[in-house]
């Protein structure tokens, strides 16, 4: 029974921001951020960006096609609030697309996967959780602590 449990723990998958991608399988003795790893993250980022761009198109279509001038003020207010929420979400996604583009540029310049503050490896698993990460976990933790102290 214990052997089955440990085997199950080894085969758990990590959640990636884009569906359809398998976590990168490290090979023994493999160099960090080699061409295969860069290609893996490039593909994830491009697919993620494509998903976000499709959401933008859906929002534009939705707002064009579903906009109505309701006679009831409550219905009008509900629709305006819905559109406002959708636009706020798209604005956040627009900023994320900018981050994705910057990250793709970093991959192309071989600057991807290393902490912007201390220069150490960010790590494959952290990058799979957040492909646009620019800080290692220690520097990110310190940044969050400082932010909490400032608030």
Residue 141 has phi, psi (to 5 degrees) of -65, -45
Centre a 10 Å sphere on the Cβ of residue 45 and count the other Cβ atoms it contains.
21
Ranked by mean pLDDT, which of 3-12, 76-85, 90-99 comes out on top? 90-99
How much is the pTM?
0.78
Task: Tell me the CA distances in angstroms from 61 to 14, 53, 89, 90, one per residue in order.
Answer: 34, 13, 15, 13
Residues 84 and 130 placed together within one structural domain of the fold: no
Residues 132 and 60 placed together within one structural domain of the fold: no
Nearest to 39 by CA among 97, 104, 85: 104
Find the domain containing 49 and state its range.
Answer: 32-112
How many structural domains comprise the chain? 2
Residues 40 and 107 placed together within one structural domain of the fold: yes
Cβ distance 21 to 44 under 8 Å? yes
In-domain check, residue 121: yes
Tell me the two tokens of residue 69: 């001038």
- For residue range 45-55, what is the model confidence (pLDDT) as tens digits? 999 999 999 99
For residue 54, what is the domain's CATH number? 1.20.120.910
Cα(133)–Cα(122) distance, integer angstroms: 8
pLDDT of residue 8: 40
pLDDT of residue 93: 93
Residues 36 and 105 placed together within one structural domain of the fold: yes
């Amino acid at each position: 029974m214990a052997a089955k449990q440990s085997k199950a723990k080894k085969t758990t998958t990590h959640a990636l921001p884009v569906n359809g991608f398998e976590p990168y399988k490290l090979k023994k003795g493999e160099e960090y951020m080699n061409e295969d790893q860069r290609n893996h993250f490039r593909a994830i980022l491009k697919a993620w960006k494509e998903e976000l761009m499709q959401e933008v198109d859906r929002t534009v279509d939705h707002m064009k096609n579903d906009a109505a001038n309701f006679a009831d003020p409550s219905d009008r207010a509900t629709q305006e609030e819905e559109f406002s929420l959708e636009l706020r979400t798209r604005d956040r996604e627009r900023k994320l697309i900018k981050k994705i583009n910057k990250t793709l540029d970093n991959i192309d310049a071989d600057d991807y996967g290393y902490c912007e503050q201390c220069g150490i490896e960010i790590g494959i698993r952290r990058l799979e959780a957040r492909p646009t990460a620019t800080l290692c976990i220690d520097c990110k933790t310190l940044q969050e602590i400082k932010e909490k102290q400032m608030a």
